[in-house]
Amino acid sequence: MVNEGPSLERCDDTSAQSFDAVQGDPSVSAQPSVSTQPSVSAQPSVSAQPSSSAYPGTSAQPSGLVQHSSLGPEELGSIKVSKRRWAVVLVFSCYSMCNAFQWIQYGSINNIFMNFYGVSSLAIDWLSMCYMLTYIVLLLPVAWLLEKYGLRTIALTGSALNCLGAWVKLGSLKPHLFPVTMLGQVICSVAQVFILGMPSRIASVWFGANEVSTACSLAVFGNQLGIAIGFLVPPVLVPNINDKDKLAYHISIMFYIIGGVATFLFILVIIVFKEKPKHPPSRAQSLSYALASSDASYLSSIVRLFKNLSFVLLVITYGLNAGAFYALSTLLNRMVILHYPGEEVNAGRIGLTIVIAGMFGAMISGIWLDKSKTYKETTLVVYIMALVGMVVYTLTLNLGHLWVVFLTAGTLGFFMTGYLPLGFEFAVELTYPESEGMSSGLLNVSAQVFGIIFTISQGQIIDKYGTMPGNIFLCVFLTLGSALTGELLRGKGTGKAEPQCLDQMETHEEEDSNTRKAPTVISEVHF
């Protein structure tokens, strides 16, 4: 559990040697100095030798292309945050919330939709799992679109598809029209691919260095709120009745509400969402503007990410945790109804408790990371507590006391959902300066893969052996995830400079700039 930063004296030596290396050899590879937040000093230090950091591919490629830094005093003075940033993250959170609601709206009243459409529980489960499968298939194309066309285009596409899917479902209000509701859900699942990879990108493009983790948590917050509403509202709007005509009427109310909300949010995206602020909000963004390269290699970025052993471990552990959460959310109604028949509304409230507690966990995690920068330690503690919460939930589900289930489920949700923004931010920390959209996208692919595996497997186990063996199944994999997270903690740090070191480097760079008035030479980094 070593995450100690280098001494200040070491930082001084490194900064001085780096400046001398640049002056002695203008063609030397440039390695930007980086803080624990994804931000970079205005005039990055460079080293004569390639860095042996946790991410093996971040040094400049031997292309020989060199350009002078354009970050003069005027540009540095223009670094400031935009007031629009809060509107952008709020609108994103809202349409992410709408999309997440549509993911869980069937699963939260699984038994009612089984009765209405006359299909098996697995068919209803696929209305949730299609989100996971679609994401796996479309991640790479959508991530490429995000890199090529930017935030605004992706936001417009995602919100438009979310709106379209919501209205298609209104054509499925007859028991024989299950394929139509599946089509609408698939469209919404495609919209989800344009949503899940954006939180870390929005945070880094629109927010200052000290706000990044908090902004990322706010963006994730909307998705979790949508799941919470998806647990709470459907059992209230759609009662468990046998008259299919009346049932269709209640379902139509839910579909009309979500269609109207999705349309309103699409209009807001058109009005509010911009590609980027007028002025860069941090030095990292200033540097990214200056080093923008048109010949970036998309596939080479993926290759470098998979060569990063620490990131690969994080992908696996994140997938195990998030996959367990997806399975638990999808099957919660079935598990609660088995032990507490006729309690569809309380099953939704238990799901709501899980997600609301998780949102508090996510917010606290983001604020804590902004202040402490203890990515590894915080990740391990939260992961272990998620395992403990799952074990306690498993042992108490069948005791016959709903209030106990509410309590244990809330504790589980606080840590299991609170882990999600930790994974996003830790991925950015491990892989900088690779694309935030790519790293978070690969985390989500892992989550979807494990989510499908866990949902199908746990569902079969519950049907044949009961809820306790099904939950023990998840406990086993969370134990594996905790062990792998501990192994990740043994690595050689994140490969990035500690805050104290960064401050010292920046001081040296400013002094050198003032005394020598020499242009900074930066070698382009090719991804």
pLDDT for position 463? 85
pLDDT for position 70? 45
Residue 212 to residue 285: CA distance in whole angstroms: 12
pLDDT for position 282? 59
pLDDT for position 273? 83
pLDDT for position 283? 61
Q: What is the CATH number of the domain that holds 274?
A: 1.20.1250.20
Instruction: State the distance between the two ends of the chain, measured CA to CA, in whole angstroms.
Output: 31
Helices (H), 238-343: 244-272, 283-290, 298-307, 309-339
Residue 47 to residue 45: CA distance in whole angstroms: 7
Find, among 447, 159, 471, the residue nearest to 320 by Cα.
447
pLDDT for position 165? 95
Handedness of CA 262, 172, 245, 343 (dihedral sign): negative
In a domain, 47, yes or no: no
Residue 88 to residue 198: CA distance in whole angstroms: 12
In a domain, 45, yes or no: no
User: What total of structural domains would you count in the chain?
Assistant: 2
- Is residue 280 within 8 A of residue 39, CB to CB? The reply is no
**For the chain, which ranges sit under pLDDT 70?**
1-77, 79-82, 279-298, 436-437, 491-527
pLDDT for position 147? 76
Q: Are residues 105 and 151 in the same domain?
A: yes
In a domain, 514, yes or no: no
> Helix, strand or coil for residue 40?
strand
pLDDT for position 427? 83
pLDDT for position 424? 76
Domain hosting residue 468, numbered range = 298-490
Q: Are residues 241 and 138 in the same domain?
A: yes
Q: Are residues 247 and 386 in the same domain?
A: no
In a domain, 58, yes or no: no
Q: Are residues 252 and 376 in the same domain?
A: no
pLDDT for position 279? 65
With left for phi above 0 and alpha for psi between -120 and 50, is residue 64 left, alpha or beta? Answer: left
The alpha carbon of residue 399 and the mean position of all alpha carbons in its chain are separated, in whole angstroms, by 35
pLDDT for position 111? 87
